[in-house]
Amino acid sequence: MKKWTKNLLIGTGIYATYSIFATAIIRRQSFVEKRFKGKGIALTFDDGPHPIYTPQLLDLLKRYEIKATFFVVGSKVEKYPYIIKRMHEEGHTIGIHHYEHKSNWVLTPWQLTEQLERTAAAISNCTGERPTLYRPPWGHFNIAVPFTAKGYRIVLWSHIFGDWKVERAEMLYEDLQNAVEDGAVFLLHDCGKTLGAEEEAPKFMLESLASFLADCQEQNIQFVQLEGSHNG
């Protein structure tokens, strides 16, 4: 085997261990939460805030008196601080979803520290509280995340719906209904500007969610927020 081929194989192996294999192993660990103990459903929304869709979503949640959990992107928090202030005033939980929507597969531990710190600072500038929840974009980990993000509660999801694609819109309402169970953590998206997403997708998500929440009210299904901030 030529030397460069061997080096390439070793390099690929090291990178896969750092990123893909680490993700597969870390996701199975008990400190990575995917459900909660108790009755009801936790609604969580990633990738915002968005200047149009997030306020519409907040209106919808307010109508049904539902508290949710938002995993926000730090650079967008700095762009739309008034939305984060409103989120906080209306009693929702706010967690970290990196400063830019970048995968841990392309971040060094030092870059991840910066992503977490900058987002925590952006959120606490709006709310006066440090966030304690963290959801890595795409649920990607690298080998260093458990150490670098130590001190944060890492929360993934039990149900994901593909709502970042407009073509999923037709099925979404039914998928939400079928997913109802105690302890479920639903993942939806209030911004479609992420890599691989469609900009208009949150519009359809909001329509399906509105119908779903109306049904839930009739059936007395409870919604809970994940706890995740402390003063100072």
Where in the sequence numbering do the catalytic residues fall?
46, 189
Here's the x/- map for Zn ion, 122-161, by CB under 5 A: it reads as ---------------x------------------------
Nearest approach in angstroms of CB 135 to Zn ion is 8
Question: Which token pair is 147?
Answer: 């150490």
Instruction: Please give the Cα distance from 221 to 100 (Å, whole number).
Output: 35
Torsion sign, CA atoms 68, 71, 77, 79? negative
Q: Specify the residue, 44 or 208, whose C-beta has the smaller distance to Zn ion.
A: 44
Of 182 and 193, which CB lies nearer to Zn ion in the complex structure?
Answer: 193
In the complex, which residue's CB is closest to Zn ion? 46
Smallest gap, in angstroms, from Cβ of residue 62 to Zn ion? Answer: 24
Contact (Cβ atoms closer than 8 angstroms) between residue 121 and residue 77: no
The label of the residue with tokens 């952006």 reads 122
**# of chain residues touching Zn ion (CB under 5 A):** 3
Query: Least Å distance between CB 138 and Zn ion?
Result: 6
Give whichever of 192 and 216 is closer to Zn ion, judged by the CB atom: 192
Binding mask 23-62 for Zn ion (x = CB under 5 A): -----------------------xx---------------
Which residues make Cβ contacts (< 8 Å) with residue 63, sequence separation at least 6?
213
229-231 vs 129-131, strand pairing mode: antiparallel
Contact 45, 189 (CB under 8 A): yes
CB 58 within 8 A of CB 202: no
Rounded to whole angstroms, the Cα distance separating 77 from 86 reads 12
Indicate the residue among 34 and 177 with the shorter CB distance to Zn ion.
34
- Per CB under 5 A, does 163 bind Zn ion? no
**Site residues, Zn ion (CB under 5 A):** 46-47, 137
